A and B are shown apart, each in its own frame.
Chain A
Amino acid sequence: MAWWMGCSSAAGKRYRRRVFIAMSLYIVILFSCLKLVKVVPVHGWVLYALAMLPAVPVLAILVFMARYLGEETDEYLRMLTVRSLLVAAGALLATIVVNDFLRVIAHGSAIAPFLCFIVFFISFGIAQAAQELASRGAGDE
Chain B
Amino acid sequence: MNNRLRTLRAELGWSQQLLAEKLEVSRQSVNAIETGRYDPSLPLAFKIARLFGKPIEKIFIDDD
Contacts and interface: CB of A to CB of B under 8 A. Distances in A.
Same complex for A and B? Answer: yes
B40 A8 contact: no
Given A74-B29, A75-B29, A135-B28, A141 B16 contact: yes
Interface residues of B, number: 20
Interface in A1-23: 2, 6, 8-9
Contacts of B27: 8
Contacts, number: 46
Given A75-B41, A75-B44, A139 B29 contact: no
A139 B31 CA distance: 6
Interface string B1-38: 00000100000000111000000111111011111011
Given A75-B41, A75-B44, A138 B25 contact: no
8 contacts: A73-B25, A74-B29, A75-B40, A76-B26, A76-B33, A76-B40, A138-B31, A141-B31
